[in-house]
Structure 1
């Protein structure tokens, strides 16, 4: 491939992302400030120094409540803030567990004040120079709402999510200034309602080994539509009632309707009447309802001839193309890379790439900078990759 096919801004982006950082949060407009320091922009051996980044460029690590907090009724131990500060990380992104905060899923069922008070710990993060970024819901839609009316299949979900979010803004909005409404709407609708191997396990393959109910042709679009309305309703709520006094920002991880107020024409033409439509009021609600866009990126896959043969693409260059595509096609929004990572059991590869999903391990795949020993009182053991961020941010590598 011709190394000159990229613009200067894209080459800078490629250099930036090829450095493979532990969670980067980036304003797309800042990419042009970086300069090319390598002869081959497609090389995955590009070297970038900390001093080459804009002074306001921010690095962080994420976790999710569903992956680290365990049972909704068991109070977890305090997280070791030193794990973050020792790495010189400036941001910690995490989620609030819906069912722990509202045990019945709704305000009418009462608030678990102990769960809310737990987030006073965030003061310690802030004292250590770490800024919290909070996802309101990360794959933890309450089972009570699923049993009551089908969860996000029903429009009632919009109101319940709004109530839960408002409770969050009222109780802890004074310390949290950076909000993300919901994690990966696409994954919820696709894995939960098309393929059926994630909650709530609905799809058209009605067998005891796959799904017992569901419709993969219609339900994913209904769910996505209601989730989008839920998120944008919460953004409107925050901007109208809380943003001015609390001084925060709020973002969403779903793009086309947010920028242009409707689904892409190609999608409308293909899905036709299976795709719910927006009313004019809803279009106005959805359009422009974000302060930033979050990108979760792990890989790219392109189809090539023959039709069903797939080829995976290099991780590094494609995340940069994603950013550049967003900039060009969606009016250059503020972009945060809220998740990225490579899971590889080979120790050397883990050290080489240094892009990790979070500060701790996930369920089975060992993403993360720290190993959690479940057989030894959840002892936290720093991996070799945990030592790299502080060295990089101190200019030692």
Structure 2
């Protein structure tokens, strides 16, 4: 039976060839490795959450720690040109600083070697939400300026040990979302927030802490980038950048106040990080609304942060509509989201339960925004994919439609001059999702958590992506051909 979907009028050949442009997929250490207490690894801030009753399989994850060779062979079969992963700080340096764990070092060496020997380009993220619990307990983690020195020392180990094979480094994954989720609304570990913006936290201050964490994250990134450029880049010939999360914001109405609110949302959500990195300081509207609650850059810090990148990573999934809510600025209690003074809604249309609204124009719009506002920097789309409820169905037609439409939108942006250098689906396999554990999935491959061997099964999206990457079929070939050619895998 046909699925009624056709691909866009493009193929892999419409994009620059590898290494000028790469297509890949990705995961992160805590979400896929498992082996949480093996071979010297110590807890990260995520472990206590993952061990809760609701997420009791969280610590086991997909056992990528032991099954990495099998997973790399799936990457080869899929035709991936690159793979984005993260390094577990607490596996490599269990105390957060000091001695390197030999078994952690061996694992990442083995994994990177496996990628390289199979022709897959490694893209390594230094931290993907999983700060060592030891540093959180000792001095408050990202709330303390001490994190800059410890993060730089950790980065130094990674550059020294892996930089001869890893040429693409991402210091921090979507630091803007982490600052909000962990310190404003309190939905991520270490669960810090204050009422009324977050109601279940035991400690925190939603009005000040997100700004402090963001400031320290920017300084830590810039310090690590300066180290890389001074000590390693000339010999290793690699590149370093930082990743941000970006919604495509659209005014809810044609009213001028909604257009102004939309720009304010961009300034707080994107400019909060991008402006210091490109221009050396926070946006004026952010400084005006946050006042003394946001730290100031010294002249030396501004110089350190400005230009401390070779590329930017973009995580983009969906579109939000923005309406003005500036009246709320008169409230005495304020958090970062309140400072934006905007109301958000995911879509004007109905969205299937558990799924992201498919609005591919948001990909083109996000890339255009970075081009127009920040001088068209090199950009890697590090995460893009369709969220669905987790189930055993391998016919993820919605995900196929999502991927084909967003890749097509990215191509439109590139034809319009966007300096986009790569695209990675999220995620390569179904894994432990940071928002809801095993209730949702993004993977190209299904993982059977009831199977003692955690067997992986390709979904229709894996076959579609593989067909696209390998240049199989016509530009406009019907997806029913993908279904027919892969039907044996679903039986």
The structure-2 alpha-carbon separation of the partners of 1:208 and 1:237, relative to structure 1 and needing over 3 Å to count, comes to: closer
Equivalents in 1 of 2:212, 2:131: separation in Å?
16
> Please, which moves more after superposition, 314-323 or 255-264?
314-323
Q: 2:317 aligns with which of 289, 293, 298?
A: 298
The structure-2 alpha-carbon separation of the partners of 1:383 and 1:335, relative to structure 1 and needing over 3 Å to count, comes to: same
- Structure 1 contact 371–381 (Cα < 8 Å) conserved: yes
- The reply to whether residue 83 of structure 1 matches residue 159 of structure 2 is no
Alpha-carbon offset, residue 340 of structure 1: 0.9
> Residues 248-302 of structure 1: CA distance to partner in whole angstroms, max 9, x if unpaired?
1100124211100000111111111111000000000000000001100011212
Equivalents in 2 of 1:88, 1:223: separation in Å?
38
Hey, what does 1:61 align to over in structure 2? 25
> Residues 95-135 of structure 1: CA distance to partner in whole angstroms, max 9, x if unpaired?
0001111111111xx21111111123322221221100000
Equivalents in 2 of 1:383, 1:138: separation in Å?
26
> Please, which moves more after superposition, 302-311 or 117-126?
302-311
Q: 2:291 aligns with which of 260, 266, 272?
A: 272
Hey, what does 2:168 align to over in structure 1? 178
Equivalents in 2 of 1:294, 1:285: separation in Å?
19
- The reply to whether residue 243 of structure 1 matches residue 233 of structure 2 is yes
Hey, what does 1:35 align to over in structure 2? none
Hey, what does 1:337 align to over in structure 2? 381
The structure-2 alpha-carbon separation of the partners of 1:395 and 1:163, relative to structure 1 and needing over 3 Å to count, comes to: same
Equivalents in 1 of 2:463, 2:7: separation in Å?
20
Alpha-carbon offset, residue 78 of structure 1: 3.7
- Structure 1 contact 162–234 (Cα < 8 Å) conserved: yes
Aligned pairs for 1:252-331 (under 5 A) are 252-253=242-243, 254-304=273-323, 308=343, 310-312=345-347, 314-331=358-375
Runs of 4+ in 1 over 3 A off after TM superposition: 206-209, 304-309
- Structure 2 contact 85–124 (Cα < 8 Å) conserved: yes
Alpha-carbon offset, residue 396 of structure 1: 2.1
CA RMSD of aligned residues (A): 2.1
Aligned pairs for 1:1-397 (under 5 A) are 46-55=8-17, 56-74=20-38, 76-79=65-68, 80=70, 81-107=72-98, 110-121=99-110, 122-205=112-195, 210-253=200-243, 254-304=273-323, 308=343, 310-312=345-347, 314-345=358-389, 347-354=396-403, 356-363=425-432, 364=438, 365-376=440-451, 377-397=453-473
Hey, what does 1:23 align to over in structure 2? none
Equivalents in 2 of 1:178, 1:380: separation in Å?
28
Alpha-carbon offset, residue 74 of structure 1: 2.3
- Structure 1 contact 300–315 (Cα < 8 Å) conserved: yes
Q: Which runs of 5+ in 2 are unaligned?
A: 1-5, 40-64, 244-272, 326-341, 348-356, 390-394, 407-424, 433-437, 474-491
- Structure 1 contact 304–311 (Cα < 8 Å) conserved: no
- Structure 1 contact 302–310 (Cα < 8 Å) conserved: yes
Equivalents in 1 of 2:82, 2:471: separation in Å?
18
The structure-2 alpha-carbon separation of the partners of 1:378 and 1:283, relative to structure 1 and needing over 3 Å to count, comes to: same
Number of aligned positions between the proteins: 352
Equivalents in 1 of 2:130, 2:312: separation in Å?
21
Alpha-carbon offset, residue 308 of structure 1: 4.2
> Residues 152-187 of structure 1: CA distance to partner in whole angstroms, max 9, x if unpaired?
101001111111111111122212111000111112
> Residues 4-37 of structure 1: CA distance to partner in whole angstroms, max 9, x if unpaired?
xxxxxxxxxxxxxxxxxxxxxxxxxxxxxxxxxx
The structure-2 alpha-carbon separation of the partners of 1:62 and 1:273, relative to structure 1 and needing over 3 Å to count, comes to: same
Hey, what does 2:45 align to over in structure 1? none
The structure-2 alpha-carbon separation of the partners of 1:302 and 1:309, relative to structure 1 and needing over 3 Å to count, comes to: closer
Alpha-carbon offset, residue 190 of structure 1: 0.3
Equivalents in 1 of 2:190, 2:202: separation in Å?
11
Equivalents in 1 of 2:468, 2:198: separation in Å?
50
The structure-2 alpha-carbon separation of the partners of 1:162 and 1:292, relative to structure 1 and needing over 3 Å to count, comes to: same
The structure-2 alpha-carbon separation of the partners of 1:387 and 1:211, relative to structure 1 and needing over 3 Å to count, comes to: same
